[in-house]
C-alpha cells in the first residue's frame, strides 16, 4: 500500500498546485447545464413527479463525477507517452494493484470535487439538496468505478488519438443516454435494455434515488458494486500486462 500512497502523493501535489484552475474548469460545465436546463426549463417541467432541475441534478452529479474520475486516463496517458513518468511507477518494487489504487484514489478526489461543486451550485438554482449516507456511498462508488475504468483504458490505448476516440464513442454517448437528463422510461425498449448494461445508468438511478430521498434501487446498487470490482480487476490486469 506504500506504493499507492506514493502515487496518490504525486497526484495530490499536482492537484493542489492547479487547484484554482481545476475549480474554475470543473464549475463551468455544470453551471452551463444548470443555466440552460435549470433556468430554461427547470420549473416548467416535471419528470417522474419532480421539478426537472431537481431531477437533473443527480444526473449531472453522475455525469460530472464520471467525467472527472475517468479523466485520470488522460493524465496517465500523458504520463506514459509524453513525459514517461509512468515508467518510474512501473520500475518501482510495488505491485500492480498499488499503482491502480494510487491512481484510483486521485481519480476519486477529482470526481468528488466536481460533485461537491455541483452540490454547492444547486442552491443557487433554488434546489434544496439532501446529502445523506447513500448519496455519499453512491458518489464514492461512481468515482471508484470510473477511475478504475480510466486506468484500464489508459493502459490499453497505444496513442493519444485512441484515448480521444474512446471518449468520443463511449464516454460522451454514455453521458447522455444513461438517464442523466431524462427518464429512461422514455427510451425505446431496445435502448432501455442496452442502457442497463452501461454502468452510468445505475449510478444515475442510485444517485437520483438518494438525492430525492427515495428507496435505493437495490439492483442498480449491486450493479455498481459489481462494475467497481470488475473494473478494478481489469485495471490490475491491464497494468500487469503492460510490464513484467
For 232, the grid coordinates are 478494478
Per-residue cell: 15? 492537484
Q: Which is nearer to another protein, 46 or 241 (CB)?
A: 241
Distance (Å, whole) CA 207 – CA 178: 12
Q: In the complex, which residues of this chain contact another protein (CB under 8 A)?
A: 2-3, 5-7, 9-10, 13-14, 17, 83-85, 87-95, 243-244
C-alpha cell at 118: 455541483
**Whose Cβ is closer to another protein: residue 13's or residue 229's?**
13
Helix (H, G, I), strand (E, B) or coil at 51: strand
Shortest Å, Cβ 90 to another protein: 6
When the beta carbons of 50 and 92 are compared against another protein, the nearer one is 92
Choice between 9 and 176, CB closer to another protein:
9
Task: Choose between 126 and 243: whose C-beta lies nearer to another protein.
Answer: 243
Where in the chain does DSSP place strands (E)?
46-47, 50-51
Residue in 147, 155, 6 with CA at minimum distance from that of residue 67: 147
- Report the Cα 144 to chain-centroid distance in Å: 8
CA–CA distance, 201 with 192 (Å, rounded to integer): 10
Amino acid at each position: 500500500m506504500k506504493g499507492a500512497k506514493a502515487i496518490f502523493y504525486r497526484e495530490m501535489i499536482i492537484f493542489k498546485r492547479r487547484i484554482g484552475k481545476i475549480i474554475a474548469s470543473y464549475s463551468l460545465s455544470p453551471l452551463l447545464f444548470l443555466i440552460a436546463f435549470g433556468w430554461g426549463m427547470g420549473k416548467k417541467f416535471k419528470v417522474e413527479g419532480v421539478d426537472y432541475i431537481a431531477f437533473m441534478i443527480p444526473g449531472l452529479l453522475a455525469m460530472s463525477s464520471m467525467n472527472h474520475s475517468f479523466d485520470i486516463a488522460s493524465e496517465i496517458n500523458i504520463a506514459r507517452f509524453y513525459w514517461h513518468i509512468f515508467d518510474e511507477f512501473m520500475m518501482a518494487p510495488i505491485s500492480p494493484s498499488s499503482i491502480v489504487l494510487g491512481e484510483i484514489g486521485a481519480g476519486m478526489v477529482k470526481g468528488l470535487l466536481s460533485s461537491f461543486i455541483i452540490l454547492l451550485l444547486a442552491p443557487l438554482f433554488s434546489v434544496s439538496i439532501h446529502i445523506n449516507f447513500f448519496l455519499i456511498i453512491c458518489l464514492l462508488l461512481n468515482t471508484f468505478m470510473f477511475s478504475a475504468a480510466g486506468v484500464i483504458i489508459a493502459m490499453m490505448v497505444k496513442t493519444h488519438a485512441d484515448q480521444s476516440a474512446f471518449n468520443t464513442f463511449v464516454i460522451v454517448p454514455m453521458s447522455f443516454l444513461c438517464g442523466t437528463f431524462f427518464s429512461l422510461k422514455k427510451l425505446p425498449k431496445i435502448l432501455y435494455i442496452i442502457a442497463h448494461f452501461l454502468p452510468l445508468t445505475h449510478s444515475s438511478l442510485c444517485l437520483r434515488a438518494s438525492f430525492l430521498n427515495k428507496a435505493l434501487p437495490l439492483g442498480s446498487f449491486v450493479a455498481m458494486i459489481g462494475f467497481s470490482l470488475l473494473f478494478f480487476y481489469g485495471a490490475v490486469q491491464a497494468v500487469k500486462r503492460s510490464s513484467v
